[in-house]
């Protein structure tokens, strides 16, 4: 078992990270055309207009919660005198609500994908690989939040979070993960699968989040093509 744990929590994360970075770089370099939301709103709009914002906003909140929960060490919140109970209640409430919204949104989206023929037809192989993983991650995460926080017998900030931070110190704390409850392990493992799939599935569109739009002038002008590489003296016949 010891070797398995080392492989899962000590080696695998680095493999996934390399795959994630290299895959994304490859995708950007060789398949920029393929980076798109691949939206199916054209085929079905009614369900999507409810479920998609629910899923996406829920997910963004969840991601924010992970950043706080994994990166901010318990010692810091203690130093700031955030009461443990308040922290937990907040995590349960916001995390629980956001997670529920994401899971509910995703359920509707998947149901829509399966039941609307045109949407089903437009699904790709990577979608079929991605959706089960996404569901497992979200459900396991939600269960961990609700059950874990409610019963209060496992503090992930003293377990999973320590393992996560130890990864970046290049000294993985395998034990912290080995002692974590099963749902946390499942959540972490499928989470890694998600990162591995990321560059190769429609998830890449997250990288395209158009924040630049907020500061850009409305109308974009572009020249027909970039100036020629060679310096010419302005006369085409001398090219």
Partner 1 sequence: MARPSLRKKGGAANGRGKAAPRRVMAQVAMVMNLDKCIGCHTCSVTCKQTWTNRPGTEYVWFNNVETRPGQGYPRGYEDQDRWNGGWTLNRRGRLVPRAGGRFRRLSGIFANPDLPELNDYYEPWTYDYATLTDAPLGDDVPTAAPRSLIDGRPTSVEWGPNWDDDLGGGPAHVANDPMLRKIGDGIKLEYEQSFMFYLPRICEHCLNPSCVAACPSGALYKRIEDGIVLVDQDRCRGWRMCVSGCPYKKIYFNHRTGKAEKCTLCYPRIEAGEPTVCSETCVGRLRYLGVILYDPDRVGEAASVEDDRDLYEAQLGCFLDPDDPQVAAAAEASGVPHDWVTAARRSPVHALINKYRVALPLHPEYRTMPMVWYIPPLSPIVDALAETGNDGEDAGNLFGAIESLRIPVSYLAELFTAGDEEPVRASLRKLAAMRAHMRRVNLGEPEDPSIAGSVGMDTDQMRAMYRLLALAKYDERYVIPTAYSGGSFTGHADHGCSLEGPGGPGMMDGDAAGEAFHAPPLVPAPSSAAGEGDGDGPRRVNLLNWNGHGRPAGLFPPRAAGEES
Ligand-binding site membership of 43 (annotated):
no
Q: Which helix (H) or strand (E) holds 6?
A: helix 2-6
Q: CB under 8 A: which stretch of 32-40, 64-72, 140-148, 165-173 binds partner 1?
A: 32-40
Residue 234 makes contact with partner 1 by CB under 8 A: yes
CB of 63: closest distance to partner 1 in angstroms? 14
Contacts (Cβ under 8 Å, ≥6 apart) of 88: 149, 152
Ligand-binding site membership of 205 (annotated):
yes
Toward partner 1, which CB reaches closer, 128 or 216?
A: 216
Exposure of 234 by Cβ count < 10 A (0-12 exposed, 13-18 middle, 19+ buried)?
Answer: exposed
Ligand-binding site membership of 56 (annotated):
yes
Toward partner 1, which CB reaches closer, 85 or 223?
A: 223
Q: Are 89 and 63 in contact (CB under 8 A)?
A: no
Residues 191-220 that bind partner 1 (CB under 8 A): 205, 208, 210, 212-214, 216, 218-220
Select the residue interacting with partner 1 from 5, 27, 43, 88 (CB under 8 A). Answer: 43
Instruction: Give the 3-state secondary structure of residue 40.
Output: coil
Which string of DSSP letters, residue by residue, matches 73-126? -HHHHHHTT--HHHHHHHIIIIIHHHHHHHHHHHHHHHHHHHHSHHHHHT--HH
Toward partner 1, which CB reaches closer, 4 or 209?
A: 209
The Cβ of residue 192 has, within 10 Å, a number of other Cβ atoms equal to 21
Residue 115 makes contact with partner 1 by CB under 8 A: no
CA angle 108, 110, 112 (to 5 degrees): 70
Known binding-site residue numbers for heme b: 56, 66, 187, 205
Which chain residues interact with partner 1 by CB under 8 A? 32-33, 35-45, 48-50, 52-53, 55-57, 117-118, 120-122, 205, 208, 210, 212-214, 216, 218-228, 232, 234-236, 239
């Amino acid at each position: 078992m010891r070797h398995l744990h080392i492989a899962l929590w000590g080696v695998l994360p680095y493999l996934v990270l390399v795959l994630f970075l290299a895959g994304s770089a490859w995708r950007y370099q060789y398949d920029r055309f393929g980076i798109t939301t691949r939206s199916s709103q054209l085929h079905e709009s009614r369900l999507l207009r409810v479920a998609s914002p629910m899923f996406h906003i829920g997910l963004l909140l969840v991601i924010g919660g992970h950043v706080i929960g994994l990166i901010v060490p318990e010692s810091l919140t203690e130093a700031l005198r955030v009461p443990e109970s308040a922290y937990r209640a907040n995590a349960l409430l916001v995390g629980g609500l956001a997670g529920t919204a994401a899971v509910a949104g995703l359920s509707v989206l998947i149901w829509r994908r399966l039941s609307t023929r045109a949407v089903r037809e437009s699904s790709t192989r990577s979608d079929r690989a991605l959706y089960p993983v996404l569901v497992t991650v979200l459900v396991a995460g939600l269960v961990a939040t609700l059950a874990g926080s409610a019963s209060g017998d496992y503090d992930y900030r003293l377990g999973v979070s320590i393992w996560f931070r130890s990864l970046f110190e290049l000294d993985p704390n395998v034990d912290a993960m080995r002692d974590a409850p099963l749902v946390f392990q499942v959540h972490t493992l499928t989470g890694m699968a998600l990162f591995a799939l990321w560059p190769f599935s429609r998830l890449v569109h997250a990288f395209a989040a158009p924040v630049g739009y907020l500061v850009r002038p409305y109308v974009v002008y572009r020249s027909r093509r970039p100036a020629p590489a060679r310096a010419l003296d302005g006369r085409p016949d001398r090219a």
